[in-house]
């Protein structure tokens, strides 16, 4: 496998100041990129939904890694489906078209596991991406991100534009978003347990019935996979990034309570949505295409995340 040489490359990382973005920048530097040649557009100064801003952002860049997303858990998806659809579609479409026009050498688009159909055979294979409609609560977000795969494939076909599409499973790790209004399941549960302990609560309410399964990828592993894809992958087919390890929400909250030494009772709020019934990825393509496998074990990753949150909870 011939690596794309990162030294001296001008690299734009959208979402580069975020939870995953900071890790991606560290991994880029480990792989030889020059930190001073990495640009991070900040949403407050550079709204990528505005066409001219996207044009300015990609100007003079060699590689674009598009991580920026308007994203959240089930609550946000139910509350703001239109915003999640529009913001993610427009931002990505603008960037891809502007990058093509500017002669950017490579475009790396990070998609979402929400793009998979609601009932996908487990483990999810990339070839099953179009075999049904996504789970309803996150379909607007998932479809907006999936449209960017189509855009990259059509630009490759017509313009020979080198764009790749990576599909990381649910991420977690230190510096995650712990905001109760928009966080994903692991940070939401860690915060919930922590607050229950502080307030001396004996019961812990949790959405759903505990039956859905999920797979989680530690943010550092995800970042490493994204950088390996940037260096070694140049095909049109999407690639899953995951661990292949599936855990139920019931077992997840049980493990978090155990690691955080919470002795109370879990109360299932069965009037709240479960989300997609099962999620677990087939990770063979990433292994074959650019030798990526996750390295951080789930319990180790959870301990690191809990420890980070406890240090920063105040």
Q: Which residue positions form the known binding site? A: 15-21, 145, 168-171, 184, 192, 207, 214
Strand 203-207 relative to strand 265-269: parallel, antiparallel, unpaired? Answer: parallel
DSSP 8-state symbol, 311: H
What is the distance between the terminal CA atoms of the chain, rounded to a whole angstrom?
Answer: 47
Strand 265-269 relative to strand 11-14: parallel, antiparallel, unpaired? Answer: unpaired
Binding residues for substrate: 192, 207, 214
Please calculate the CA angle 113-115-121 and round it to the nearest 5 degrees. 75
Answer whether 113's CB lies under 8 Å from 156's CB: no
DSSP strands (E only) in 15-119: 38-39, 63-66, 106-110
Q: Is the peptide bond before 149 cis (omega within 30 degrees of 0)?
A: no
Binding residues for NADP(+): 15-21, 145, 168-171, 184
Is 141 an annotated catalytic residue? yes
Q: Which residue has the tokens 């990129």?
A: 33
CA–CA gap between residue 302 and residue 309 (Å, rounded): 11
CA–CA gap between residue 37 and residue 42 (Å, rounded): 16
Kind plus residue range of the DSSP H or E element containing 95: helix 81-101
Among 141, 155, 218, 233, which one carries the catalytic annotation? 141
- Whole-Å CA distances, 257 to 31, 125, 189, 193, 218: 37, 32, 9, 7, 19
Answer whether 39's CB lies under 8 Å from 56's CB: no
Answer whether 111's CB lies under 8 Å from 166's CB: yes
What are the backbone dihedrals phi and psi of residue 84, each rounded to the nearest 5 degrees, phi first?
-65, -40
Answer whether 225's CB lies under 8 Å from 286's CB: yes
Answer whether 33's CB lies under 8 Å from 16's CB: no
Residues involved in catalysis:
141
């Amino acid at each position: 496998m011939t690596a794309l040489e990162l030294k001296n490359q001008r690299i734009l990382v959208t979402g580069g100041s975020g939870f995953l973005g900071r890790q991606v920048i560290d991994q880029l530097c480990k792989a030889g990129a020059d930190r001073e040649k990495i640009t991070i557009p900040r949403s407050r100064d550079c709204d990528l939904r505005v066409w001219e801003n996207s044009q300015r952002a990609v100007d003079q860049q060699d590689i674009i890694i598009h991580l920026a997303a308007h994203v959240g858990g089930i609550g946000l998806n139910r509350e703001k489906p239109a915003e999640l659809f529009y913001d993610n579609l427009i931002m990505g479409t603008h960037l891809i078209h502007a990058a093509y026009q500017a002669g950017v050498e490579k475009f790396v688009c990070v998609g979402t596991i929400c793009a998979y159909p609601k009932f996908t055979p487990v483990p999810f294979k990339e070839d099953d991406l179009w075999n049904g409609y996504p789970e309803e609560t996150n379909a607007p977000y998932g479809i907006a991100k999936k449209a960017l795969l189509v855009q990259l494939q059509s630009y490759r076909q017509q313009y020979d534009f080198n764009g790749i599409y990576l599909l990381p499973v649910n991420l977690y790790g230190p510096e995650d978003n712990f905001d109760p209004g928009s966080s994903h399941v692991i940070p939401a549960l860690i915060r919930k347990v922590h607050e229950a302990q502080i307030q001396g609560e004996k019961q812990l309410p949790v959405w759903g019935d505990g039956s859905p399964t999920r797979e989680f990828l530690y943010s550092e592993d995800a970042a490493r996979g994204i950088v390996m894809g940037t260096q070694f992958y140049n095909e049109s087919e999407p690639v899953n990034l995951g661990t292949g390890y599936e855990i139920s929400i019931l077992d997840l909250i049980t493990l978090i309570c155990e690691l955080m030494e919470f002795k109370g009772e879990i109360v299932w709020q069965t009037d709240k949505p479960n989300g997609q019934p099962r999620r677990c990825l087939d990770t063979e393509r990433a292994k074959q295409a650019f030798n990526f496998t996750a390295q951080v074990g789930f319990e180790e990753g959870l301990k690191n995340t809990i420890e980070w949150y406890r240090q920063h909870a105040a």
